[in-house]
Each structure stands twice: as C-alpha cells, then as structure tokens.
Amino acid sequence: MILNSGRLLNERVKTHPHKIAIITKSERLDFLRLNQRANRLAHVLAGQGVKCNDKVGILFPNSPEFVVAYLAVQKVGGVTVPLDAKLPSKDIEAVLDFADARLLVTLPSAESTVDIKQPVVTVEKEQIKCKGEILHPPDDDWGVDRSAGDEATYLYTSGSTGGPKLAVLTHENLSCFPRVLQELYATSSEEVYGLLLPMSHVSGPIAIQELIEHGTTLVILDLMTERRGALQSIQENKVTLIWGVVPLYRLLIHEAKIRKFDTSRLRILAVMGMETPVDFMQEMSQVFPHTAVVQGYGLTETSGVVIGTPPQDAVRKMRSIGRSVRFMDVRILTRSD
C-alpha cells in the first residue's frame, strides 16, 4: 500500500499544522485549513456515492479550490480528472463522458456555463453546494490507502497527434516527482515554489505532490493578468524556484526590466517544454543575476521531469537540456534505429 496525497496531507498536518501551504493575492492557507477544507469536500463526495477508482472531474483556474478538490478526490480513493478552465462546454462534456466521470467539482460561477449529465458540486473557499443547497459536512480526517499502481489522475494532453490524448498517472508515478526534484535541484521543506503553469496540466498534480510530501509552500502567480503583481508576490513571499515555459518567462522578463524587484531569494528558474535559444537564457540570467537558469524536458506521461540540468551546471551547460533524472531511462536514437 502507499499513502496517496490525501492521506499524506493528514500526516503533514500532524507535524506542521500552521505552516503556510498556499499563497494567492488574497489568501494564505496553512496546512490545517487546507486539510479541513479537503476533508469536508471528501465527506460530500462520499455522500454523493464517490468511491475508490471513481473518476471525478475538477474544473478550476489556478486556485486553492483546485488543490482542495484534487486532494478531496484523493482522500476518497477516487481518480482526479483535471479540466482546463478555458475549455468550451462541449469539450468538457466530451472529456467527462470519455473518462466515465461520476461528477464534476467546480466554482459556483462556472456551474451555469457547463451543460453536462453528471451531478455538479460547487466549492468556493469554505462554502460547498450541491443542487443549490449549502452543505455543512464535518472536517474530521478522511483518507484511504491505495496501491502504488492504482490510478491517481487522468490528464488530457494538448493533442500532438491531432487530438487530445489521455495520460493515466498512478500514485507511484506522482510519488517519484518530489524525489527527482530533491536530487536534481537540492530542494528542501523550506522551498517556496512560484506556480506559473496551468494546474489542470501535469504541473498541478506534481506541484501538489511536492507540497504535501515535503511540506513546502506554493505561491500561485497570475502572470497573464497581473505581471507586476506576480513579481511583487515573488519578492514579498521570497519565492525560491519556478518552472515555466518561454512565453511566460518573456512576460516576466519584460516586466522585470520596467520595474525593479528584489528577487535575490529566487535560486532556480527552470525552462521547460521547448528548445530555448541560448541568447534568451543569457538574457534571463542578466535580469535575474542571483538565479540559476536551467533547461529541462518532461512529459505528462512521466509525471513531469525526464531530463534536467542541475543548477551547478547552469552556466557551463547552458545549451544543454541536462541528463536523465532518477527513475528515467533515456535513449538517443537515429533515424535508422
């Protein structure tokens, strides 16, 4: 058996109940409150008939509610099906039907925008509603044991083969990521992560796994609508590590050149997802002189990182995407192989 992220949260609360787990522009949530919210929602899901191996859709932007919903599904032994908040209703319906989802958890404001056959539970901060009724479930600990090979989450990729692909991640898949980060970037429980990428993609589950396993802090950054606010948050919350993609980093650099912020605690910027020009890497290093700018490569199907450059090689190996990380076997093939 293995402790899934829902059960791990119960254990984390015993050791660090009041450590801040999630930070947004308007909210700071410690592990105790995060667990209480997830427990309450888990009770509601169980009351709606969700049990081990049932699939549950979660439709949220990057937010504490996404984390709460994700963990609640894990607590009852279900399989999370994260959905991109920008998807049109017909695509949401198609994904939920294909995954054979039992119900959907989303924000109250999104309930009227989706046309699906599954029941809908809404969550916003402390409030949980189902069929228009405000519910008041208990917050006592909830959690079930799962096997390492049991399905944990279904992720739909961007569709590089012409249509969306379903990637199935197990609890063992997800548990690898924190150990990979620890070895590659020498991370610790004092790490403060800045989240730029959509949580509905692989970044969400792996960031949550890291948060719960190592007791780190996750700062949700809204770079698309508040560039200045994102850098202000990096400064105020002393963010230490960010992983992202070139288009988002271009926005960050543009704003950092206009206004000066103290980013001296930011020790690693990991550039993922695409080949990165060396001149852009150099520009990032100039704008963030205290920071190791490194490349890496990963897949949804592998729970994140496959290849990465350690920070000590950031300057010497700037052109490189790194070497294979723990748990990964990588081969270089030619066209004739």
Q: How, if at all, do strands 166-170 and 55-59 pair?
A: unpaired
- Rounded to whole angstroms, the Cα distance separating 311 from 288 reads 14
The tens digit of pLDDT for each residue in 234-281 reads 999 999 999 999 999 999 999 999 888 999 999 999 998 888 889 999
| Strands of the 28-30 sheet, one edge to the other | 28-30, 20-23, 217-220, 192-195, 241-244, 268-271, 292-299, 304-308, 323-324
CATH 1.20.120.160 fits 5-19+29-170, yes or no: no
Domain ranges of the chain: 5-19+29-170, 172-324
Mean per-residue pLDDT, 165-194: 90
CATH class of 172-324: alpha beta
Residue 329 CA from chain centroid, whole number: 24
Average pLDDT of the chain? 91
The tens digit of pLDDT for each residue in 158-172 reads 655 666 678 899 998
Q: Which residue has the tokens 């990521």?
A: 177
